[in-house]
Structure 1
């Protein structure tokens, strides 16, 4: 898809009253590209369809890479609270012709794959200190 076509699709979704920030759609496109590239690397360079789960994990990995400990905050700023929200954006872009899908793909594929904010915050939480004291010798 040409960048102009994608921009037009995003503008259409936003003008129809999307609850998500425009930045979320552009990040989703980057996450899809990131995920497709990773899938191709694991498939001897062959292009293939990525599943909802693969896209969500790619989205997570790219968010952590790009935003680090601020990833969860960024998602909140964009209006993303759950994996289902990401799925809603995907299907909005499918309806606009910006993304493709297989007949078996549904919005339900994005439900409860992982808790979005918890998953983005977890790598940056401090680990529990060892509270057991060693007996002195």
Structure 2
């Protein structure tokens, strides 16, 4: 009998407490989101492998759609502060039989795969910096 996802996460949290439960749930949902998005673009079988790059793109898309400008804050609250942390979460899920991997998949592929500032902060910054010039104040006696 296989363990359910929550039991597997409980086991992972006992051996590796770097990441909160939410990080694992998020990654599972992000994988589902990625698979569905890719399936719309191309014909995919249910057990089609998703590359690390595709997963990172899906993680970015899913985080932004779910959490908007708070995506980085939410991920950070779960202990996920960079792309390498995403890889650690993925490989914990692989080690516990939740996700599968191909021969090409390695933790190293996640090390610099997604810049969190670029992915989760920059899209919400103003397009143009506000002007530092203050409007001139009229002095007394000037006509309006």
* 1:59-101 superposed Cα distances (whole Å, 9 cap, x missing partner): 1111111111111111111111111101101111111111111
- On the 8 A contact 1:5/1:98 being kept in 2, the answer is no
Larger Rg: 2
Question: What is the DSSP-based 3-state SS (H/G/I as helix, E as strand, rest coil) of the residue aligned with 1:128?
Answer: coil
* 1:103-128 superposed Cα distances (whole Å, 9 cap, x missing partner): 22111111211212331011110111
1:67 aligns with 2:67: yes
Residue 99 (structure 1) aligns with: 99
Structure-2 change in CA distance of 1:11 and 1:124 (3 Å):
same
* Long gaps (5+) in structure 2: 132-144
Q: Distance in 2 between matches of 1:36 and 1:18?
A: 28
TM-score (norm 1): 0.86
Greater helix fraction, Structure 1 or Structure 2: 1
* Long gaps (5+) in structure 1: 132-137
Residue 27 (structure 1) aligns with: 26
- Tell me by how many angstroms 1:130 deviates: 8.5
Residue 55 (structure 1) aligns with: 55
- Tell me by how many angstroms 1:45 deviates: 4.3
- On the 8 A contact 1:31/1:59 being kept in 2, the answer is yes
TM-score (norm 2): 0.82
